Amino acid sequence: MGLHVLLADRRPDEVLPALPGLLLDLKVEELSVAAVPDVLALRPEVLLVDAAENPGQAHAVLRALRERDAGVPLVVVVERRDLDRLPWEALADELLFPGASEAEIRVRLAMLRRRLGRTEEGVVRLGPLVVDPVAYTATVAGRSLDLTYKEFELLRYLAERPGRVFTRPALLREVWGFDFYGGTRTVDVHVRRLRAKLGPEHEHLIQTVRGVGYRASAERQP
C-alpha cells in the first residue's frame, strides 16, 4: 500500500487508537488549510482527516482539498455526535469513528480502494483497461498500449479516480507538475492521443465533460 497521510494536531493513536496496529506507511501533517499544498505534493494514496477534535477546522481542510481538485481519497474521522453537524458526505469519500477496530479500518480502506478501482498490488482496473504502475504497462482488452511517459501518467491519474471530473488546469498541476509552463492545450493533445491508442471501441474510457474537463469512466456516455 502507498503513503497514507493523517492531517491532525494529535498523535495517530489519539485519533484512531487502532491505527498503529495496521503498520501503514503513515505520515502526520498539521491540520490546517495552509498545509494542503505540501500534503498534496507528497502524492498520498489516502488522506485521513481528524475531525473528532476540531470539526470546523477539519471541514475547512476537506473543503480546501476538494477545491484544489486533489483527487486523493479523503477519509474523515468524526465523532457520532458530530455526524449531523456538518455535511461530511459532500466532501469525504469515507468516514471512521474514533473507536474503529483494526479490522474495521482495514476493511473500510480496502472497500475504498475497490471503489476507486485499485487493488492491493497497486494495479488499476477500469472496465477492460488495466494499468500497472509498478511495471509501467497498460493494456485494454488484453492489448498492450504503447504510451509515452506523460500519456501513461495522465491515463493512470484519471483511471485511479473513476468518475471524478478534473479541469485542465488541475490535470496540468497534478500530472505535469507546478513547474510546467505549457498551456491547457497540452492536456487536450494528450487526451486525443490516448483515445486514438485506446481505439474506437474503448476511447469512451476518457470522457469529455463539456465546459469542465475530463474524467475516466467504464460506462459509455449517453
Domain boundaries, the chain: 4-115, 124-216
Q: How confident is the model at residue 41 (pLDDT cuts 50, 70, 90)?
A: confident
- pLDDT value at residue 222: 67
pTM over 0.85: no
**pLDDT at site 121:** 59
Contacts of 222 (CB under 8 A, 6+ apart): none
Do 4-115 and 124-216 agree at the fold level? no
CA distances for 91 relative to 15, 113, 138, 162, 185, angstroms? 19, 17, 31, 16, 29
At residue 158 the predicted structure's pLDDT band, cuts being 50, 70 and 90, is very high
Least confident of 66-70, 92-96, 151-155: 66-70
Domain topology for 4-115:
Rossmann fold (3.40.50)
Q: 3-state class of 182 per DSSP?
A: coil
Give the confidence band of 182 by pLDDT, cuts at 50, 70, 90.
low
How much is the pLDDT for 179? 58
**Which residues sit opposite 139 in a β-bridge?**
130, 144
Separation of CA 177 from chain center: 16
> Residue 81 has what pLDDT?
95
Q: Beta strands 137-140 and 129-132: pairing type? A: antiparallel
Contact 1, 120 (CB under 8 A): yes
Q: The domain 124-216: what is its CATH number? A: 1.10.10.10
